[in-house]
Structure 1
Amino acid sequence: MADGRIIKALSGFYYVQDEVNKEIYQCRGRGNFRKRKITPLVGDNVVYEAENKTDGYILEVKKRENELVRPPIANIDQAFLVFSATQPTFNTQLLDKFLVHIEASDIKPVICITKMDLVSESEEEIIHNYSKDYSEVGYEVLMNSAQSLSGISEIEEHFYDNVTVFAGQSGVGKSSLLNAINPDLDLDTSDISTHLGRGKHTTRHVELIPFGSGLVADTPGFSSLDFRGIEADDLWLYFPEIREKTNECKFRGCTHMKEPGCAVKAAVDEGEIKAYRYDHYSSFFTEIKDQKRRY
């Protein structure tokens, strides 16, 4: 038996990198995993045994520090949420959905805005204003250009000694960004579909890729998230500016929706909390409540 980390899952096989010799072994899950409702994820630290590099079994999945459902990955240090300034249009509501999921999983988020060289001056000003808003909330925001290496070195520094997941809409340039940082990766990329207005899903599976002293994951893009596993009454925890104001509310357990004496709603009225962020909170709260009633 030996210790390792799952770095890829594909067609029912798990590819485990040994902790000591760094060799990769193709493994199947232990026979009773399904009965025990254990589903190994990329990023899992595991105990395995293998007679050779293509005939191994995962015997144990060790306790996870955290995990994401979409993309399915575990034990992540930070998440790069990659959104484009244009093609597709910068979407703050979808970004806030990602941020809620990342916050709920206790993973450090880093917002990365791509394709800054493709926007007009007026569009650039709008993006910079959004960047300022998110920075003031406490998030780190990085920007880079589609056709140049502008901003790449600043992004590259974040990868060392970290396990980093890339997530965001399809077509925003996640694979292109990774290729710019390390051309040897040669990840598949694709242009935006002009008919659908969104990117094609060029990444088909989740895989951890060695980068310097860290690992990065290129993941399938997607354009929607649900809130299963997140309670409406806990949603305020995942908006830092709302979390900061909650103790000032008149009533304990204030949901910041309709209660009188709500410090959060007062902060929105005074411009201290951005109205679009609160609107997203309110929308997500209602969505979670409706989702609970359906299930």
Structure 2
Amino acid sequence: MPEGKIIKALSGFYYVENNGEIFQCRARGNFRKKKITPLVGDIVKFDAENNTDGYILALKGRHNELVRPPIANVEQAILVFSAMEPKFSTHLLNRFLVHIEANDIEPIICVSKIDLLKSEERSRIDQYISDYQQLGYTVLQTSIFIEDLIEEVRPWLNEKTSVFAGQSGVGKSSLLNALKPELNLETKKISTHLGRGKHTTRHVELIPIGTGLVADTPGFSSLDFTNIEVETLSDSFPEMRELASLCKFRGCTHSSEPQCAVKQSVEKGEITDYRYKDYLSFLEEIKQQIRRY
């Protein structure tokens, strides 16, 4: 029985790549009975008499999976956040980072539209870039109008399955078009009234770029903290993860406990105030979710 990778899911069909050939498949009815949904990125066993009439028979085990965007077996996430239009949001970036870290995916932060920055805004963005680099994150700066900056992105995509994700209107599809012009992905300007972009990508699809595969995904502006517990949230904050063993109490949530190494580091300015405030906000959100259930 042949095996392949789902590279696109659209309108109930799954497009499976096997040795350079694409097979259009449906999922067998027993998937619905078992409440299993194949995802882009899944390695599957399938049967096909021809390229347009196949069936997925089984899924192989997943290394990881994301709900929004719906994709499996991702190795790294390119988190695209614009410097301007829409304005760079550390709060939303921190939400994405928690989501990605919790799923054991390597994050790369990509600050797009860097050409739109004026001198007074440049220092603010430079400080944020420095903050995230000090935490160990790779931060790339891009502009679709500066070829050298586009070329700096390419090596990071080779030999990996990557997902491009971020807020709507930040330029994910524009950046992918710059990396591979023949894609001709649809792009739209952001709404001046709402201050955010319109959704231009309607489905998830793996696209070959260089020697890697890249997923262009629908843009979205919020993430729920599903499958993240109160006790494990700080594991997705590297600056807190390193200090947890120094707290007085085991299982410290770094919120109200005494002799907390994380709170002490915040007071000393060793942990940025905006990251810690976001952590507390996310912690409360998870607690609220638990109460609702």
The TM-score with structure 1 as length reference comes to: 0.98
Structure-2 residue corresponding to 1:54: 52
Identity, % of aligned positions? 64
Say which SS state the counterpart of residue 232 (structure 2) adopts.
Answer: helix
Whether the 8 Å CA contact 1:4–1:46 is kept in 2: the answer is yes
Deviation at 1:146, TM superposition (A): 4.1
In 2: Cα distance, 1:232 partner to 1:241 partner: 17
SS at 2:243 equivalent: helix
- How big is the alpha-carbon RMSD for the aligned residues of Structure 1 and Structure 2? 0.8
The aligned amino acid for 1:294 is R
* SS of alignment partner, residue 170 of structure 1: coil
- Which residue number corresponds to residue 224 of structure 1? 222
| Residues 36-73 of structure 1: per-residue CA shift (max 9 Å, x gap) | 11110000000001011111000011000111110000
Partner Cα separation in structure 1 for residue 127 and residue 102 of structure 2: 26
Displacement of 1:31 in angstroms is 1.2
> Which residue number corresponds to residue 120 of structure 2?
122
Residue in structure 2 matched with residue 153 of structure 1 by the alignment: 151
**Deviation for aligned residue 1:228:** 1.4
Cα distance between partner residues in 1 of 2:51 and 2:272: 54
Question: 2:27 maps to which residue?
Answer: 29
Instruction: Write the mapping of 1:75-90 to structure 2, written as runs, cut at 5 A.
Output: 75-90=73-88
In the alignment, residue 30 of structure 2 is paired with which amino acid?
N
Answer whether contact 2:28 2:57 (CA < 8 A) is retained.
Answer: yes
Matching residue of 1:193? 191
Q: 1:199-253 CA deviation, whole Å, 9 max, x = no partner?
A: 1101000000111221001000000111111111110100000001111111111
Q: For the residues of structure 1 that align with 2:290 and 2:232, how far apart are their CA atoms?
A: 14
1:17 aligns with 2:17: yes
Structure 2 Cα separation of the partners of residues 271 and 155 of structure 1: 32
Q: Partner residue of 1:245?
A: 243
Q: How far off is 1:148 after superposition?
A: 2.5
Give the drift of 1:114: 0.5
2:103 pairs with one of 102, 105, 108: 105
Aligned residue identity for 1:280: D
Contact 1:82 1:174 (8 Å CA) reproduced: yes
Partner SS, residue 234 of structure 2: helix
Q: Which stretch of structure 1 is more off in the superposition, 185-194 or 257-266? A: 185-194
Determine the structure 2 residue equivalent to 1:178. 176
- The Cα of 1:158 is off from its aligned counterpart by 0.7
- Conserved? CA contact 2:7–2:40, under 8 Å: yes
Secondary structure at the counterpart of residue 57 of structure 1: strand
Measured in 1, the distance between the counterparts of 2:55 and 2:143 equals 44
Could you report, residue by residue, the CA deviation over 1:61-101 in whole angstroms, capped at 9, with x for unpaired residues?
10001111100000011000000001001000110000001
**Distance (whole Å) between structure 1 residues aligned to residue 282 and residue 148 of structure 2:** 35
| SS of residue in 2 equivalent to 1:34 | helix
Alpha-carbon distance in 2 for matches of 1:122, 1:80: 27
Distance 1:145 1:216 in 2: 19
User: Could you tell me which residue of structure 1 aligns to residue 213 of structure 2?
Assistant: 215
Farther off after superposition, 68-77 or 188-197: 188-197
Q: Any conservation in 2 of the 1:256–1:262 contact (CA below 8 Å)?
A: yes
Matches of 1:10 and 1:287 in 2, distance apart? 33
Report the secondary structure of 2:79's partner residue. strand
Question: What's the offset of the Cα at 1:185?
Answer: 1.2
The question of whether the paired residues in 2 share the 8 Å contact of 1:80 and 1:165 is answered with yes
Deviation at 1:30, TM superposition (A): 1.2
Amino acid of the residue matched to residue 2 of structure 1?
A: P
Letter of the aligned partner of 2:224 in structure 1?
Answer: D
Q: Distance in 1 between matches of 2:149 and 2:292?
A: 44
Q: 1:22 offset after TM fit, Å?
A: 1.3
- Alignment map for 1:128-167 (pairs within 5 Å): 128-167=126-165
Return 144-153 or 205-214, whichever deviates more. Answer: 144-153
